[in-house]
Structure 1
Amino acid sequence: MGCLNHYNYRRIKVRKLLYLATLCVILLVCGLVRAQGTNATLSGTVTDNTGAVIPGATISAQNVRTGVVINTTTNESGVYIFPSLQPGIYEVTAEKSGFRKLAYNEVTLEVSARVALNFQLEVGTVTESVDVRADVDTRLALGTSSVGGVVTGQQVRDLPLPNRNALGLVSVHAGLVGDNLSGARIGTLNITRDGINVQDNRINSGVASTIFTSTDLIEEFRIVTSPADAEFGRGSGQIQMITRSGTNEFHGSLFESHRNTALNANTWFNNQRGHDPVTGAPISPRNILIRNQFGGRIGGPIIRNRTFFHVLYEGQHIRQKNSVTSTVFTQPARQGIFRFFPGVRNGNANAAVPTVDLAGNPVRPASATGDLQSVSLFGRDPNRSAPDRSGVIQRMISLMPLPNNFRTGDGLNTAGFTWIRSQSDDFKHLSLRFDHQFDDRHRLTFSYTRENGDAKNSFLAQPFPDSPGGNSLSRDRFYSLSIISTFKPTLLNEFRIGALRPLLRFFAPWELEGGSNVQPSAGNQLYLIDFASVTDPINVSNDPQGRITPVYQFSDTLTWLRGRHAFKGGAEVRFVSTNGFNSFDVTPRAVLGTGGVAIQNINNIPGIGQNNTAAQSMLNDLSGSIGSLRQAFNAPGGPNPNFLAGEVKYRNWRSRELAMFFKDDMRLSPSLTLNLGVRWEFFGVPYDANGKTAAVVGGTAGIFGISGASMADLFQPGRMNGSLSRVQTVGPNSANPDAKLYNDDWNNFAPAVGLSWSIPFLGKDKTVLRMGYGIGYERNSLRIIDVLGSDLPGLRTVTTLVPGSYLDLTRITLPLQPAGKPLDTVPITERTQTLRGFDTNLRLPYVQNWNISIQRELARRTLLEVRYVGNKGTKLVRGFDINEVNIFETGILEAFLTTMAGGHSPLLDRIFMGLNIPGLGVVDGRRITGSDVVRFNTTTQGHLASNGVASFADFLNRSTQFTGEVGGLLRRAGLPENFIIANPQFLSSRLTANTANSTYHSLQVEVTKRFTSGWQLQSNYTWSRALGEEEGDGQEIIDSYRNLRNWRLDKRLMDFHITHVWRNSGSVELPFGPKRKFLNGNNPVVSRLVGGWVIGAIFNVFSGSPISLSSGVNSYNTFGDNTPVIVGQLPKSFGAVEKDGNGVFYFGGLQRVPDPSIANMPANIRPLSTLTAIADSSGRLILVNPTPGQLGTLAPFYLEGPGSFRFDVSLSKRIRIGESKELEFRADATNVTNSPQWNNPNTDINSSNFGRITGAGGNRIIIVGIRVNF
């Protein structure tokens, strides 16, 4: 497992180093061009007062903070350009012999901005100069047609951020809902820091960076929600961050931020549960979380005006204490004594019929037929006559405290142990940045980050205080180097190289020091114990795992100014890989239970009745009786793999990405810029470097198995034009090195066109019209490759041994033996596994973006913008199951309806003929018919009671009931193997293809005011509509169609759609104290008290997200997404949060009534049915369950869930100490009004909790801090 085990970041293969170095040289020589730079571009036209262009004018841009001066000259068209300026505040001057020098002060260049700044020179001498404050807002002067915005350094400093994560401020911008930008999938988002991607490239994690984006690290960042620029790639949404750099003055900070449970509110539902009547303590207390974030930064000059540095260290200590309740044996139970009251089921203190009180004292229920019984379970069963003789169970139970909570378990034999479990999480972050200006033509920037995280008791946490817990760690590294060279005023090159190496490792308790001593072993093989009655003393719910996902990135830019054209073009290369392992079930599990030998003489204990099962489980646990042994075997790579004991599932996925673009920003006039460009992207088909890439033989065709090769072969029972599905390995180092998971997609061209027009007749530089169109391609996450390229039958097998004779812990033999060989063909009688495969001709999904906006300056540094933003996702990836049960062509629906109506179906006679049915007898088609079996057998009655014709079809296809073999019912009847599903080898046969689409439309209105006169404001409103068939946020992106016969039924509102969003953010320096409007007198004490106060706030209001009402009835297929049938009036706006003493409800005025379909069921089935319909307060039906063969008519996501609002506030007090130091006290509060952020209600019309809301987030959290700035 290489670096996953040893964390050696220096162990890089020489071959890879040589390969990367060679590529680096090629890029430098060829002058390829980098995409998505974070530096700003400043350009414009120089004219005289007649409008004639002035060639040869000298333009100088001086960074106010660093003093660095960059010069250029205008060309023959009077046009100049600075293609790559470090974001910041500049003084820009233009001079030419015979003209007065003109200087613009306070020109703000933001990250990735393209600003147009024109000069009109007056006749005069150069010694005469005109200084102008840059009143033209550079946001208005942007020469781009993309839609987005910038989170400025002022916002990062002033707005409330409780976790110091600057990326949290993405939420202040329009067009964002959760992690989705402008209605697009989260996989279309590209996040960079200093030009290098910082996302987790294994999974699509949305708005998140693997490297912590501290507020003391990030200077500012740009969000692009609708790109119309060939320079933007790897997605249709962009977040581009830049880090702080040093300046000509030394500046820094020391800081401490503290979160404490004592300052925070409890959740609404925890408060609702009240207090313990005995102790008076809250029944659900706040979990304790203490977090300290601390550190310091410093930046300044190494050589003034030339070399600068910035260093940040940040640490974080989190200490959590959570209330945990685990189930334990009571003291008598540990001795094998089982206690019960005859005639009743044991019940804990919270049960409807308790058999103990809150202190654990037995309480005889009124319905009990006798007093408390205490009987020994030992000595009754000849196999389980005594406690476990291996000593393992006793060692495990010794870790188990005695109970102190009798609200759980059965109260008499098992109960709860409630305790406070501690967890720690320590994090260290170090970032360095160096900037060096060689001369006015060459500049170098280098940044580096090192992060180490260590969490104790966070993975497989302790169930009991004396049990060992698991740990996790992270080791993340980031590197970025850029060199910017101006070869001449019209030609600039920027080269960049970078790497991201995030590592995660999760350690199980038995891997850590002392942990393996607790676990038992058989020979040299460690194994794990899984109890039946109580919480496992060692947490065995997961297994060791880890991953490292490095990305190496190389790019270069070349910008050429010629006439009115600013040409830019080039390429970017990325090497993406993810090396990960998991060891699920590689360590054998001994599951305690009955196994193949039934327990004797427990069910005949007088009066034990309903407690029989609990008593048997307890006896199995105490005696060490093994119900089953389970062990997984994985195969290593290579052409001829074998299953090996102890071999983990390890995959080394690799992918190569290449992008090229060319664009022209054409200045048709000083007020009109046309943006033209085209981009090409290639995402290579990933492969496992060890030869373990698994794929279905035949690609798409192989998914359909014996039925055929395409969707046209579905629902054709008996027509078998295919063959059994098989799995093979493909790609390098496999048996099929030239084959791939799917074919390469080379024709991924993305045009981009737009314009930006400063409308002259509405005031000079006052109103700008922009419009643009562009395409962004979506890369598939490596996680979906990992699932579809490795979780296939053939390279992993799990052996489960259910002993036919009695087996306990004294006689275990390990390891088990794997069944079969790798890549063996799955028999058609198996039907428990899942087959997954890509469409052979899978294409790269893409999103078309378009926008039109008009921007108007309302006042100095205050803008109003109204825009329409839309997009369309095409060829989006979606996985779906082709094994939809066929109830129509098979006649199963007709047979089901006949049976439900009391008749007799010839098809069911054929299926059950000759079988001896318990409780009925032998089916002969006359005295006992097949329909009688379905109506009167307890196994099949539930299908009738739930209108479950599809679940009944699945039963016929897979059940071993009555025949002892999978599919035996159909096979005995002479029916074809594909009678019910297309690929009967498998439970599920999933095809991943380009079958999804999406659309998004929005109106956005935004007012922004830059920080001037002590305050800033940003307010935006968005009306939007996001439609599609699948959100694309799952690891496998699997979402079976409601009906494979009609895919169009799946188009709906996306679950992240929100119709109305109103976002507000801003900050204000209160106008008191020195140099302020009020109380600015001579009293220094008063001035210090009332001055330096800053308030920041974020206030958001959202309408609700879509909710889908469900019936859960398998009336059509078994995919579980059936909706009700609407038979009455149900407005789309229906629903409101209502609270009463019984809880929180959303569908007030509705009631559950018996479903009308129950009346059509056989008389003996009606009492078994739990189907309910929804009626209004007058009893008029609104929603009913689908009848057999019917698909719900209510559209998915028809209603809207609870809306929400949230008000976050920060309050700072800044005290000047001398001329250069400042002491700052600060408090940040999230949800300061402590308003519940309600979860969506239960939407199952057959649930007793229909309409009930059982969760809410957003309890108020307050963080306090102190810092010293110098």
Structure 2
Amino acid sequence: MTRSLPSRFALTLTILLFVTGIALGQGTTSRVTGTVVDPSGAVVPAATVTLTNDATQISFNTETTESGTYVFDSVQVGDYTVTVEKQGFKKFISTANTVNINQPATVNVTMEIGGVTEEVRVESSAEIVQTSSSGNFGNTVEQRTLQALPIVGARGRNPLNFILFQPGVTPDSNAGGGVHVHGARDRAFNFTLDGIDINDTTAGGSNFTPIRTNPDSLTEFQVVTGNFTAELGRSSGAQVTLVTRSGTNEFHGTAFEFYQTPRFHANEYENTINRINRGGQLITPSTPKFVQHIFGGSVGGPIIKNKAFFFTNLQLLRTSQSILATRTVYTADARAGRFRFVGGGRNAAIGGTLAPSVDANGNPLPGLNIQTFNITGNPNIPLGLDPTTQRLIALAPLPNNFSVGDGLNTAGFSFSAPSTERQYDFTTKIDYNFNERNALYVRYAQGAQNTIGDNGNGGLQRFPDTPNFVDTFRTPRNLAVNLRSTLSPKMVNEFVVGFNRYTFSFNNPDPNANANSPVILNLPTDPLNSTPNINNARSIRTYQLVDNLS
């Protein structure tokens, strides 16, 4: 059965409207409004109002309505100059009007009688205040704040750390480092970059987005934690909107490096309380290795003055560190088939809530009724030591940490496990002003994060000289294309299209890669480390189409 052309058109239009309706909350623009009056307070209709971006000198024009009001919709964030002209009045110029994400700016104008060759110039100095006109409850972090405050962390300069400063936000204590907003789940976040989704839809969380932006690549971002207006939605925790920087009429560039070394670090608390036995001596592990380089730069400027601009940013991260790992192993007596227990009590390691059974060297404490169950040489139990099992057990080292296990039969082996991370994040953006009615920008971002021995995913090696358990590799790609068209003095259309592509692979190195340790014993969770090779990956493809007509 065939369908008529009108039916197909109606179906296509319905689909587009449906997709557009879903994506309306992804905008990164705002609006500038105001009312123009004369000295007596009467409204001034049909006055020409010009909005000019201070950095690029791109201008938009409109006229006041019969009620003296004007509106500029879909305005990119930045500082603007508002100019109002009308025959019989002096030209009015208001400078340094800041427009933030989803926070309408109001510039009301009182004209003075005179000629258009005369000017009245004012400079905006009022602080931006969150009001009921914008509805959302949250904060906007501007570029100067992003660059001024120190936000260097284990995985680079992450501006999303500012989320922790918002009211109602509490960090999680687990290894994933999640964040909760007003008690919502740590995955109840929605992240967009230039209006395009940058979420990991299979995992998510406030501590992780596939595209890891850095402060130099952003002009500002907004965190909305409650009282969402209609254009926001999807997640109950927080809406996080990030906006990429653009080039201007002046060339600007930055270069940076942040360096960390253990020479300037204090020892970790876990090291100071968990001394290890080395050659019969109890020692405190030294400060873990942590060497990190974060370096890169950015450059932006005009391609054609007042018409075309570019901005490019690159950040690289190189981290090498050692992480204290503790594995559970058999004691020497248990390896020989002699299992000990406290008669009338319970076995316990040192440092726990129960009274310990052993001292820091693993010797039973005096005064305890230590009893032994020996599976060899016992005529009542016809058992012995299996040679194969003995060879497997012998592959694991003897304990050096008696704050783990029960102290008598099992204890801990502590060592420094290596972990390295290599990461880069690249962003480039081109802005082009066709004419006073049409402006376009294209922004592309990509990156890679490779972690060898990923501790966050349980990937550290089981014992020294064995392969890492998990290495992870991330490859995000993100594109945004935005076309703003002034269809008439009172009608503006914003069209946004883009995609978010992301692959996250988990590589489990071959446990038999090292001939010296084909199988390793690790009690109690993985007795024979026999988990098969479980390499896997997840891939995300999200495409977006948005059209806002106002």
Quickly name the TM-score band, shorter chain normalised: 0.7 to 0.9
> Contact (CA 8 Å) 1:115, 1:139: kept in 2 or not?
no
Identity %: 31
- In 1, the alpha carbon distance for the partners of 2:70 and 2:59 equals 15
Q: For residues 342 and 450 of structure 1, do their structure 2 counterparts lie closer, same or farther at Cα, with a shift above 3 Å needed?
A: closer
162, 165, 171: which one aligns with 1:172: 165
Map Cα deviations across residues 930-971 of structure 1 (whole Å, 9 max, x no partner): xxxxxxxxxxxxxxxxxxxxxxxxxxxxxxxxxxxxxxxxxx
Find the counterpart in structure 2 of residue 554 from structure 1: 545
Aligned partner of 2:473: which letter? Answer: L
Gaps of 5+ in 1: 1-21, 521-528, 560-1270
- In 2, the alpha carbon distance for the partners of 1:90 and 1:387 equals 81
Map Cα deviations across residues 248-307 of structure 1 (whole Å, 9 max, x no partner): 11212111122334434456676567898975743x765443332221111111221111
Map Cα deviations across residues 293-335 of structure 1 (whole Å, 9 max, x no partner): 221111111221111111111112222212223344567876x
94, 118, 124: which one aligns with 2:114: 124
Give SS of 1:548's match.
Answer: strand
Give SS of 1:122's match.
Answer: coil
Map Cα deviations across residues 687-708 of structure 1 (whole Å, 9 max, x no partner): xxxxxxxxxxxxxxxxxxxxxx
> Contact (CA 8 Å) 2:193, 2:243: kept in 1 or not?
yes
- Tell me the CA shift for residue 496 of structure 1: 0.7
Does residue 63 of structure 1 match 2:53?
A: yes
Find the counterpart in structure 2 of residue 438 from structure 1: 434
> Contact (CA 8 Å) 1:464, 1:537: kept in 2 or not?
no
Find the counterpart in structure 2 of residue 93 from structure 1: 83
Aligned partner of 1:251: which letter? Answer: H
Q: For residues 342 and 57 of structure 1, do their structure 2 counterparts lie closer, same or farther at Cα, with a shift above 3 Å needed?
A: closer
Aligned partner of 2:147: which letter? Answer: R
Structure 1 residues 143-292: aligned runs within 5 Å: 143-163=133-153, 164-178=157-171, 179-181=179-181, 189-203=189-203, 205-206=205-206, 208-227=208-227, 229-235=229-235, 237-266=238-267, 279=281, 281-282=283-284, 286-292=287-293
> Contact (CA 8 Å) 1:462, 1:539: kept in 2 or not?
no
Does residue 457 of structure 1 match 2:453?
A: yes
Map Cα deviations across residues 44-96 of structure 1 (whole Å, 9 max, x no partner): 12222223332332212221112222222223332222112221111211112
> Contact (CA 8 Å) 2:453, 2:460: kept in 1 or not?
yes
- In 1, the alpha carbon distance for the partners of 2:19 and 2:529 equals 59
> Contact (CA 8 Å) 2:19, 2:546: kept in 1 or not?
no
- Tell me the CA shift for residue 387 of structure 1: 1.1
- In 1, the alpha carbon distance for the partners of 2:394 and 2:13 equals 61
Give SS of 2:537's match.
Answer: strand
Q: Considering only CA atoms, is the larger Rg found in Structure 1 or Structure 2?
A: 1
- In 2, the alpha carbon distance for the partners of 1:207 and 1:540 equals 29
- In 1, the alpha carbon distance for the partners of 2:95 and 2:240 equals 28
Aligned partner of 1:166: which letter? Answer: P
Structure 1 residues 131-146: aligned runs within 5 Å: 131-139=121-129, 143-146=133-136
- In 2, the alpha carbon distance for the partners of 1:407 and 1:175 equals 37
Stretch deviating more after TM superposition (465-474 or 411-420): 411-420
What is the aligned residue count?
A: 519
Q: For residues 217 and 271 of structure 1, do their structure 2 counterparts lie closer, same or farther at Cα, with a shift above 3 Å needed?
A: same
Q: For residues 276 and 85 of structure 1, do their structure 2 counterparts lie closer, same or farther at Cα, with a shift above 3 Å needed?
A: same
Map Cα deviations across residues 349-372 of structure 1 (whole Å, 9 max, x no partner): 858444x872x7x779566799x9
Q: For residues 113 and 415 of structure 1, do their structure 2 counterparts lie closer, same or farther at Cα, with a shift above 3 Å needed?
A: closer
Aligned partner of 1:211: which letter? Answer: I
Q: For residues 41 and 497 of structure 1, do their structure 2 counterparts lie closer, same or farther at Cα, with a shift above 3 Å needed?
A: same
- In 2, the alpha carbon distance for the partners of 1:386 and 1:272 equals 38
Give SS of 1:156's match.
Answer: helix
> Contact (CA 8 Å) 2:418, 2:460: kept in 1 or not?
no
Which structure has more relative contact order (CA 8 Å, sep 6+)? It is 2
- In 2, the alpha carbon distance for the partners of 1:224 and 1:64 equals 27
- In 2, the alpha carbon distance for the partners of 1:124 and 1:369 equals 104
Give SS of 1:155's match.
Answer: helix
- In 2, the alpha carbon distance for the partners of 1:425 and 1:455 equals 4
- In 1, the alpha carbon distance for the partners of 2:180 and 2:25 equals 22
Find the counterpart in structure 1 of residue 477 from structure 2: 477
- Tell me the CA shift for residue 162 of structure 1: 3.1
25, 47, 52: which one aligns with 2:42: 52
> Contact (CA 8 Å) 2:509, 2:533: kept in 1 or not?
no
Find the counterpart in structure 2 of residue 83 from structure 1: 73
100, 106, 110: which one aligns with 1:110: 100
> Contact (CA 8 Å) 1:302, 1:308: kept in 2 or not?
yes
- Tell me the CA shift for residue 212 of structure 1: 1.2
Q: For residues 162 and 533 of structure 1, do their structure 2 counterparts lie closer, same or farther at Cα, with a shift above 3 Å needed?
A: closer
- Tell me the CA shift for residue 27 of structure 1: 4.0
Gaps of 5+ in 2: 1-10, 172-178
Aligned partner of 2:150: which letter? Answer: P
Relative to the length of structure 1, the TM-score reads 0.37
Find the counterpart in structure 1 of residue 467 from structure 2: 468
Find the counterpart in structure 2 of residue 293 from structure 1: 294
Give SS of 1:549's match.
Answer: strand
Q: For residues 133 and 464 of structure 1, do their structure 2 counterparts lie closer, same or farther at Cα, with a shift above 3 Å needed?
A: same
> Contact (CA 8 Å) 1:259, 1:290: kept in 2 or not?
yes
Find the counterpart in structure 2 of residue 710 from structure 1: none
> Contact (CA 8 Å) 2:341, 2:347: kept in 1 or not?
no
Aligned partner of 1:259: which letter? Answer: Q
Map Cα deviations across residues 425-455 of structure 1 (whole Å, 9 max, x no partner): 2212111111111111111112121121111
Find the counterpart in structure 2 of residue 308 from structure 1: 309
Aligned partner of 2:225: which letter? Answer: T
Structure 1 residues 575-974: aligned runs within 5 Å: none
- In 2, the alpha carbon distance for the partners of 1:215 and 1:538 equals 42
397, 411, 420: which one aligns with 1:401: 397
Find the counterpart in structure 2 of residue 760 from structure 1: none
Q: For residues 149 and 367 of structure 1, do their structure 2 counterparts lie closer, same or farther at Cα, with a shift above 3 Å needed?
A: closer
Q: For residues 537 and 463 of structure 1, do their structure 2 counterparts lie closer, same or farther at Cα, with a shift above 3 Å needed?
A: farther
Q: For residues 134 and 460 of structure 1, do their structure 2 counterparts lie closer, same or farther at Cα, with a shift above 3 Å needed?
A: closer
Find the counterpart in structure 2 of residue 14 from structure 1: none
Q: For residues 311 and 408 of structure 1, do their structure 2 counterparts lie closer, same or farther at Cα, with a shift above 3 Å needed?
A: same
> Contact (CA 8 Å) 1:509, 1:515: kept in 2 or not?
no
- In 2, the alpha carbon distance for the partners of 1:364 and 1:30 equals 71
> Contact (CA 8 Å) 1:399, 1:464: kept in 2 or not?
no
Does residue 38 of structure 1 match 2:28?
A: yes
Give SS of 2:216's match.
Answer: coil
Structure 1 residues 498-577: aligned runs within 5 Å: 498-510=498-510, 514=513, 536=527, 538=529, 540=531, 543-559=534-550
Give SS of 1:216's match.
Answer: helix
Give SS of 1:38's match.
Answer: coil
Map Cα deviations across residues 537-562 of structure 1 (whole Å, 9 max, x no partner): 64749954432233222110101xxx
